[in-house]
Amino acid sequence: MAAQEAVEHKYVYGFSEGNKELKGLLGGKGANLAEMTNLGLPVPPGFTITTEACKAYLATGQEPDGLAGQIEAYLESLERGMGRRLGDPGDPLLVSVRSGAKFSMPGMMETVLNVGLNDRSVVGLSAQAGGNDRFAWDSYRRLIQMFGKTVCEVPGEEFEHALDETKRAKGTQNDLDLDADDLRGLVGAYKKIFAKHTGREFPQAPREQLDLAIRAVFESWNAERAVLYRRQERIPADLGTAVNVVAMVFGNLGPDSGTGVAFTRDPGSGAQGIYGDYLANAQGEDVVAGIRNTVPLQELEQLDKKSYDELLGIMARLEEHYRDLCDIEFTIERGKLWMLQTRVGKRTAAAAFVIAGQLIDEGLIDLDEALHRVNGAQLAQLMFPRFQLEHDFEPVARGIGASPGAASGTVVFTSARAVELAGEGKSVILVRRETNPDDLNGMIAAQGILTSRGGKTSHAAVVARGMGKTCVSGADAIEVNVPAKRFTVGGRTVTEGDVVSIDGTTGKVYLGEVPVMPSEVVQYFEGSLDPEHIDNALVRAVHRIMTHADTRRRLAVRTNADTAADAARARRFGAQGIGLCRTEHMFLGDRRELVERLILARSDTDRQSSLAALLPLQRDDFVKIFREMDGLPVTVRLIDPPLHEFLPPLEQLAVNVAVAQERGEDVAKEEALLAAVRRMHEENPMLGLRGVRLGLVIPGLFAMQVRAIAEAAVRVTREGADARPEIMVPLVGAVQELETVRAEAEKIIAEVVGDSGVEVLIGTMIEVPRAALTAGQIAEAAQFFSFGTNDLTQMGWGFSRDDVEGAFFWRYLELGIFGISPFESIDRDGVGRLVRIAAEEGRAARPDLKLGVCGEHGGDPESVHFFHEVGLDYVSCSPFRVPVARLEAGRAVVETDGSDSR
Ligand code: PEP
Ligand code: MG
């Protein structure tokens, strides 16, 4: 048997051994330093200790075998390269030790600079710096301070205090006034502080300094602030950080030295040009600390033209190489430029689109790549009005950002008042504890909605998102008192007529008016900005990328719309049909009385007469919608909510009856209503008499709706348009339910449609887990399925969709049980599995079964990718999310199936 030689794991990479693709192993900083080194750019020599070494250390509390030897070897080669040795008393090499994880976590982990200085090499450093004693002692005191604080947990204030003392004794407030002797004295004081807190002298052995600093960087991965940051940014906890050990270069050696940061384009707007700041005679941390003011990078041209020109050349080269906006950090040491860092730079949503557009023009990327580089969340951000100058205002409360955007307006507490003031041309914010279907008119009239209860799928949230209206829900610091027309928050009282501003993205609530700007991107989707003829780089880029997404995507995008106005807007936004028209809204407002009559009907005749009165009203609603959606499919869902939701609340009725009785008034009607409400009361209405169950229990109800749909379709077709109705039955759990409804519907349709040529499809929602699991049977009776992922999530998890988000999801998020609410983004493993099973089994039973989704997830970027993968035919979402879904459906193709258009 051949002798097995133990192969030592490689934990250290020299910069010339890595490249930008190795971010997982070398961290972002290390991978990019390697990339720049390989490009031949002036990077100080160094090496990277891998994230694997960090993970091994964190798992065992010990450096893994082999690491120490590899560090030694790379250190030696670094020393050779620089012609200096770490700790050499005559001509010392100093190194920086910096963290660098796969995903940037700015300022969250540790850095130690000037490693290698001790009581002897400080003298050598001074000689290196041309006899600059001040510089050498300043570097040494910075090492003790940084090392003490980050490696040995010495309280930072003690060092600050000693520095202040030295300045006070000198009679100055400026660090720069301290001379070499002052700083030498400060080093003595710092060493005492170090010894007092650690029980040992400041380590003089450079290699010990290095090893302890590396260890501290490893450990900083689990520092509290880093853990918190990762949770917030959804960065996995098990990646670990790499550690970069780099030869120090100094920007604080005199006026011909300095340090700066720069972007290759404006990360705010995407505009081309050089953006950056420079600080002469300074190190990076001085820039961060804001001790002195930086100057615009352009001024470097006057100070040091050679370095400036070289820097510009490097920036152009980096852009071309990364084919993207890069940000960089650099230092100039006595006229010699050094690149300390680069990475693909963060940018605003607008800049992301603008830059992608520019890079296509410059031939650096193709359209698929451009599509890959933007995302639906950015597009959504661009579609909402936003506050100018928000930072000038202090929020008084914070709720859930339930529907993005920014709105300012006069506070009102009732729907009626909202309508009234809006009629006078005022901008209003409707404030409620929570909203219900009766608030609809007020919500339409309002600029924004603020509630003190409810989560992201509360009534207020869902309806507001549907309308593209700003909404903050669940701002529980607010005490709403509707009868008194006021709310209180943090000891302040806001009454009707006062102005508030709400930010539906951040959930922040402000008192007073914060100025709002409309979205140009919406103006473009609305058709009022022509991308070919306006000088607006953002709108042109959005147009170009959206057009490409449309050519690439396989998923169709429909909209959830209950009114002709919403349907029309969604169509302008690119909707290819209606995937969900909820008919319950058509039972409110002036029809409430008829609905009450229907509910209270004592005889068949009574019931039939109220249904007959509702029929033409429903038919007119559908006529308007079919006209708007001429040529496109319209899925109309039969009534879903429990009927008692259409009656006034029990408490209110009971009070009315009692008061009226007291006055001796005729209360027969109220009493009947009260009795009905009591009779129909359900402990769990979401699991009660709703959806298809209503159709099976209340004779004639579904029949009326089916007739209204068919008659409307026939009328619109006779007018010359193309109506394509699809009737959808909600809450089906068993095929027999659907078969029963279907048999009755088919009869009515056949009778109404006659030879008009109208074709009406009949399908079902899949929103009860049992339906998903028996989809093969249900498909026998359905021409289409539409996944109601709101209810499927509610029933799949057993989470009440109206309560849980505000009640305890924060704890679930904190514990990492899920990273995002499953009501917001589909839970792939559980609820998603139900969707997958139903899609597969449904299609197996009926190959031409049409599959769509109409729950809130239809407009969520992550979920759209999932629905693409599962092979659905379409997603349906609120009008404002239609462009987002179009974009993400295109991105899903480019990302899942790979690009083939290059
Ligand atoms: C759903 O449950 O996902 C759905 C679309 O229906 P609703 O939200 O009206 O219950
Ligand atoms: Mg539902």
DSSP 422-445: HHTT--EEEEESS--GGGHHHHHH
Burial (CB < 10 A; 0-12, 13-18, 19+), residue 228, is exposed
Mutation choice for ligand 1 from 582, 583, 645, 764, CB with most ligand atoms inside 8 A:
582
- For 60, the token pair is 């065992």
542 in contact with ligand 1, CB cutoff 6 A: no
Q: Quote the CA–CA distance of 600 and 620 in Å, as a whole number.
A: 25
Q: Which of 821, 791, 788 lies closest to 807 in space, CA to CA?
A: 821
Helix then strand count (H, E) for the chain reads 36, 33
Q: Which stretches of 392-498 are assigned E, i.e. beta strand?
A: 397-398, 400-403, 406-412, 428-432, 448-451, 470-473, 478-481, 486-489, 492-495
How far is residue 543's CA from residue 887's CA, in Å, rounded to a whole number? 11
pLDDT the model gives residue 899: 47
Give burial (CB, 10 Å; 0-12/13-18/19+) of 70.
buried
831 C-beta closer than 6 A to ligand 1: no
Q: One-letter amino acid identity for 755?
A: D
CA–CA dist 768, 244 (Å, integer): 53
CA of 765 to the centre of ligand 2 (A): 8
**Ligand 1 and 789: CB distance under 6 A:** yes
Query: What is the residue with the minimal CA distance to atom 1 of ligand 1?
Result: 788
Q: Which ligand is nearest to the CA of 635?
A: 1
Give Cβ neighbours of residue 650 (< 8 Å, ≥ 6 apart): 674, 677, 678, 681
Which ligand has the nearest atom to the CA of 787?
Answer: 1
Going from the Cα of 730 to the center of ligand 2, the distance in angstroms, rounded, reads 7
Query: What is the whole-number distance in angstroms between the Cα of residue 791 and the centre of ligand 1?
Result: 6
For a substitution probing ligand 1, which of 459, 583, 637, 765 has the most ligand atoms within 8 Å of its CB?
Answer: 765
Cβ partners under 8 Å of residue 328, min gap 6:
261, 262, 263, 264, 314, 315, 318, 339, 340, 341, 342
Distance in Å, CA 731 to ligand 1 centroid: 9
Tens of pLDDT along 130-188? Answer: 899 999 999 999 999 999 999 999 999 999 999 999 999 999 888 888 999 999 999 99
Atom from ligand 1 closest to the CA of residue 640: 9
Q: Give buried/exposed letters for 332-367 (b at 16+ CB in 10 A, else e).
A: bbeeebbbbbbbbbebbbbbbbbbbbbbbeeebbeb
Alpha-carbon distance 517 to 510, whole Å? Answer: 16
pTM over 0.85: no
Q: Which amino acid is at 98?
A: R
Residues of the chain with pLDDT under 50: 1-4, 899-902
CB of residue 641 inside a 6 A radius of ligand 1: no
Q: Are the CB atoms for 626 and 756 separated by under 8 Å?
A: no
- Ligand closest to 579 (CA) is 1
Beta carbon of 790 within 6 Å of any ligand 1 atom:
yes
CA distance linking residue 262 with residue 360, whole number of Å: 23
Atom of ligand 1 nearest to the CA of 457: 8
Shortest-distance Cα residue to atom 10 of ligand 1: 791
Q: Whose C-alpha lies nearest to ligand 1, atom 8?
A: 790
Say which DSSP state 620 is in: H
The response to whether residue 854 sits with its C-beta less than 6 Å from ligand 1 reads yes
**pLDDT given for residue 897 in this prediction:** 66
In the reported structure, the alpha carbon of residue 299 is separated from the centroid of ligand 1 by a whole-number distance in angstroms of: 59
Which atom of ligand 1 approaches the CA of 857 most closely?
A: 3
**599 alpha carbon – ligand 1 mean position (Å):** 23
Q: How far is the CA of 253 from the centre of ligand 1 (A)?
A: 67
Q: How buried is residue 80: exposed, middle or buried, by Cβ count under 10 Å (0-12/13-18/19+)?
A: exposed
Please give the pLDDT value at position 230: 83
- Residues 732/691, Cβ–Cβ less than 8 Å: yes
Q: Is the CB of 788 under 6 A from ligand 1?
A: yes
Distance 881 CA to ligand 2 centre (A): 19
Q: Which helix (H) or strand (E) holds 152?
A: helix 133-152
What is the Cα 187 distance to its own chain's centre? 47
From 791, 793, 860, 874, give the residue whose CB has the most ligand 1 atoms within 8 Å, as the site to mutate.
791
> Which H/E stretch holds residue 318?
helix 305-322
The C-alpha angle with vertex 245 and arms to 240 and 249, in degrees rounded to 5, equals 140
pLDDT of the residue at 2: 45
Say which amino acid occupies 661: Q
Cα 623 to Cα 608: distance, rounded to the nearest angstrom: 22
CB contact set of 332 (below 8 Å; sequence gap of 6+): 251, 256, 257, 258, 259, 304, 307, 338
* Tokens, residue 409: 């307006």
Distance (Å, whole) CA 680 – CA 697? 13
* Degrees to nearest 5, angle at CA 288 with 287 and 293: 40
How many angstroms separate the alpha carbon of residue 767 from the centre of ligand 1?
8
The tens digit of pLDDT for each residue in 581-626 reads: 999 988 888 888 899 999 988 899 999 999 999 999 999 999 999 9
Ligand having the closest approach to the CA of 580:
1
Distances (CA, A) of 354 to 90, 192, 209, 538, 551: 53, 55, 47, 5, 20
DSSP E strands, 664-744: 724-729
pLDDT at 652: 85
pLDDT of 8: 80
Phi, psi of 847 (to 5 degrees): -60, -30
Q: Is any atom of ligand 1 closer than 6 Å to the C-beta of 562?
A: no
Indicate the burial class of 384 (C-beta count within 10 angstroms; 0-12, 13-18, 19 or more). Answer: buried
Q: Is the CB of 802 under 6 A from ligand 1?
A: no
DSSP run (H or E) holding 55 = helix 51-60
Regarding the beta carbon of 640 and ligand 1, being less than 6 Å apart is answered yes
Neighbours of 395 (CB within 10 A): 17
Atom number in ligand 1 closest to CA 462 = 8
- Distance (Å) from CA 795 to ligand 2 centroid: 10
Q: Is 699 left (phi over 0), alpha (psi -120 to 50) or beta?
A: beta
CB-ligand 1 contact for 584 (6 Å cutoff): no
DSSP state letter for 147: H
- Active-site residues, by number, are 459, 854
Answer yes or no: is the C-beta of 19 below 6 A from any ligand 1 atom. no
DSSP assignment letter at 487: E
Give the residue among 497, 684, 708 at the shortest CA–CA distance from 587.
Answer: 708
Say if CB 847 and CB 538 are below 8 A apart. Answer: no
Distance between CA 283 and CA 277 in Å, rounded? 13
638 CB less than 6 Å from ligand 1?
no
In short, whether 767's Cβ falls inside 6 Å of ligand 1 is: yes
Give the ligand whose atoms come closest to the C-alpha of residue 562: 1
Query: What pLDDT was estimated at residue 484?
Result: 94
Residue nearest atom 3 in ligand 1 by C-alpha distance: 788
Percent of the chain at pLDDT > 90 equals 74
Contacts of 807 (CB under 8 A, 6+ apart): none
What pLDDT sits at residue 816? Answer: 79
Pocket flag, ligand 1, residue 582 (CB < 6 Å) = yes
Atom of ligand 1 nearest to the CA of 794: 2
Cβ–Cβ < 8 Å for 887, 367: no
Atom 4 in ligand 1: residue holding the nearest Cα: 788
